[in-house]
Amino acid sequence: MDTLIVGAGFAGAVTARELAEAGERVLVIDKRPHIAGNAYDRLDAGGVLIHEYGPHIFHTNSEKVFDWLSRFTAWRPYEHRVLAVPDARTGQAYPMPINRTTINRLYGLDLDEAGVAAFLERVREPREPLRTSEDVVLNSVGPDLCDRFFRGYTRKQWGLELSQLAGGVAARIPTRTNDDDRYFTDRFQAMPAHGYTAMFERMLDHPNISVRTGVAYENIVASCDCRRTVFTGPVDEYYGHRYGALPYRSLRFEHEHLPGQANVQAVGTVNYPNDHAWTRITEFKHLTGQRHAGTSIVREIPQAMDAPGAEPYYPIPNPANEALYKRYQALAEAESDVFFLGRLAQYRYYNMDQVVAAALALTQRLRQGAEALAA
Ligand code: FAD
Ligand code: UDP
């Protein structure tokens, strides 16, 4: 084998395919019993296609990324919509991100776009610089909307206050003065027509690629004679937590199949910022377009990494954690034949398309390096 790839998620699978097509022999391992990493989907016992590790909606502005993945899947156009229920007692649902409808419905107003812009100008608390997520939210929508839609959700999701998180976290969610109620506005928004796992099967189906699932790096490293490693697991774990554990946030996914009901909610995801232990409920049929007499949902219940069986799902962006990551990054950059790639290995709050782009950039670098050596 030329390259050992640790992890069969987007980072590992894209890298494997690119290196295989360049003529390298590649071994991909994953400690889980399946490929596709956190994007893994499967039919549940009721026959509904579900995302095991929470809802994954593909969106990108990168034509290059979309074209690359399109070699391995057809697509189903899908624009994600989210409603938020700030008070479960009334059950009133409002579009999220906050838009014109949200504001008019919440405050009993009938503002046009300019009216909403003026309203936001009145209620916002200008902040400079926008350092924390609290700065970002107060600066755009002010304290009341912050309390209803962001403060409680963030406390649940991260176990931290908005003021303890980098601005980039809340900045993922825009504020709109128009009626656009889509969660994302990217140029390409679509779901793999036959699911993510099927797309990964095709990506990894190449004579130069071997895949072994249920195999952890620590159990294979001594017997593997690969000249290069691409590691997509947690970078601090690779280094035996030498500088201490990097903080990650975990989730528990509570899946449920509802046999007699065709649909349970109006949109793909409903957020619950202030009530319940879960942050959101997703009903998969909206995402996948599957027709079925029953339906399946997942509740996402955030948990700390010390919960039994907790897996790391989110790096936690704030200055202290980024400083700790920088120490691990310095170790990683000093390696000559180990490369760290992906959400856990680069400790970045990456979306799927960003991981694909990072993998394409890394493999291009590796291929150029190999050509330079051969020349
Ligand atoms: P992963 O998918 O985590 O793959 C890493 C793999 O490495 C894992 O399978 C793991 O088992 C394996 N591994 C780790 N350590 C070892 C080891 N020591 N030995 C062997 N194997 C190991 N992105 C979007 O674009 N849209 C969304 O809607 C979206 N929703 C999300 C919802 C949730 C709840 C979560 C958690 C993430 C979501 N994401 C979404 C982000 C998306 O999951 C990631 O960007 C992407 O999956 C990261 O790919 P990766 O290959 O870096 O990591
Ligand atoms: N957020 C919030 N209320 C919401 C939606 C999002 O407070 O209704 C905040 C919260 O801190 C969340 C962040 O914005 O973690 C990013 O939201 P996103 O939906 O992008 O999170 P992901 O899908 O990555 O979990």
Q: Which amino acid is at 321?
A: N
User: If you search the block for the tokens 């150029």, which residue do you land on?
Assistant: 368
What is the structure's pLDDT at 369? 82
With a cut of 50, which residues of the chain have pLDDT below it?
A: none
Using alpha carbons, select from 180, 184, 185, 183 the residue that is nearest to residue 99.
180
Here the tokens at position 337 are 């034949």
pTM higher than 0.95, yes or no?
yes
What is the structure's pLDDT at 276? 98
What is the structure's pLDDT at 375? 74
Residues 244/325, Cβ–Cβ less than 8 Å: no
Here the tokens at position 352 are 């799927």
Instruction: Find the 154 Cα to ligand 2 centroid distance in Å.
Output: 7
Top mutation candidate among 10, 169, 232, 303 for ligand 1, by most atoms within 8 Å of CB: 232
The crossing angle, in degrees rounded to 10, of helices 10-21 and 196-204 is: 30
Q: Which amino acid is at 303?
A: Q
Q: Report the phi/psi class of residue 289: left, alpha or beta, with left for phi > 0 and alpha for psi in -120 to 50.
A: left
Question: Ligand 1: does its nearest atom lie under 6 Å from the Cβ of 141?
Answer: no
What is the structure's pLDDT at 225? 87
Q: What is the CA radius of gyration of the chain?
A: 22
Q: Whose CA is nearest to atom 7 of ligand 2?
A: 150
